[in-house]
Structure 1
Amino acid sequence: MASGLDGRGVIVTGAGSGIGRATALAFATEGARVLIADLNAESAGAVVKEIEAAGGTAVAVTGDLSEQSVVDQVVATAVERFGGVDVLVNNAGIMDRMSALGEVSDAEWERVIRVNLTAPFLLTRAVLPHMLAAGRGAIVNTASEAGLRGSAAGAAYTASKHGVVGLTKNLAVMYRDQGIRANAIAPGGTATGMIPDIDGDAHGPKALGPYFGNVGRVAQPEEQAAAILFLASDAAANINGAILPVDNGWAAV
């Protein structure tokens, strides 16, 4: 089955690097028009140039996606440039410090939850009216292995990604009769620039250390992007509410 993505308007967050960049390039290769949303203007602009050099269509919007004004700008730009939003990929995220709950500061908790969970909520809420008006839409969230288990990250990140899983499933139920699908990938270890600031003497990293022997092979960003592309495509037309581990079997251990 063809992807059905040619000419579609797609928003990819965190698209300046890592999984987001690979995802934006994959959609552009399928003929989609892609909005690159990222905090870093330089990296977002570089991805736009990369897509345009290959004959594709892309535009960048930069800013903190946990702020409503930035979310509004992202969606308004996509609607203006593409005529609507067919696909939303909530990929942007940050790591915590692998902190155990008793070590988590208010600042660490609030920032991780704001970026990893509140930002996808704000963006999804903003695109829903446009998808509902069109009678179709695909939302793909980047959850994590930490959204499936308690041994993959610290308390804040784990809670945020479990929240993404719940948000995805609730969306699927609420809007399945209105042409909107919501799914998520749960990446395992992936070669990106996301490196946690770990205090090696803290309880959290010490407690988690023994479990990381199950991670297995580290994936490339393009492998995660392929799964996102599939879930957004017509090939996945009857897949809704799924949380797809892309982790070389880590979730099965």
Structure 2
Amino acid sequence: MSPRSMFVAALLGMAGLNIAHAAAPTLLDEVTIATLTPLEKETLLNDLFNDLNKDDDDQEAHVWNNGADQAGRVTVTYHFTNSGMTEHSLKAHVCRDLKLKVSTAGKTQDLSRRTCSQSSGRWDIQGKDAPPATYPPFLSDVTVANLNAAEKKSLLEAAVRAVSDDEEGATRTWSNRGLGNPAALQVRLTVSGTDAKPGTYRTCRDLAMQLDGQRGQQTLTRRICEDRYHNLDIEADYVEDK
């Protein structure tokens, strides 16, 4: 399979991505033999991004220059090899060997490296994604009941089903009957605020969990989002039974 075919699934949602707003340092910030203007960096990174997504391996090298006269000209030569898929943080990513050299005024700097796509659709030469937001386990916020392992597993499954399957504003009920806890607990799960992030396949929903137990009543609300592989961030270590 050619790299172009292999990339199709991994690159969904990347079209039209504006890389000019990269918040983190980029590959071009490592250039020490020349000073590139912000516009030159943006133009070169755009070309690199487009070629990373569409070029097959071992094609003729691309040659880019900043258009300056001979004394100030900066030339960049690059091509790609050894494309493949990898898995990081339970997500699939495309990786490629980038062979890239910068030349100016008789000096050459080699900035070649292995580069991989990120969850945002950018490549890590464009600036790495910020660490994802992390939350404490949803059920750790429950104070009106002491949940045993069976209750936690069953209630999380009900919450995931609500977020995944229920219509906007719908409510489903859950109880701990038969799960080994003599203290009765009733829970109402309601989803709302359904919203898909523009330009992506990431859907977010608000889940309100109303608990009624022997210690009183409690309402917990959490914004829950899915990634492009449809995994939910309801719990940092939650794994759905298949």
Query: Normalization by structure 2: what TM-score?
Result: 0.19
Of structures 1 and 2, the one with the larger relative CO (CA 8 A, separation 6+) is 1
- The structure with the greater share of residues assigned to helix is 1
- The structure with the greater share of residues assigned to strand is 2
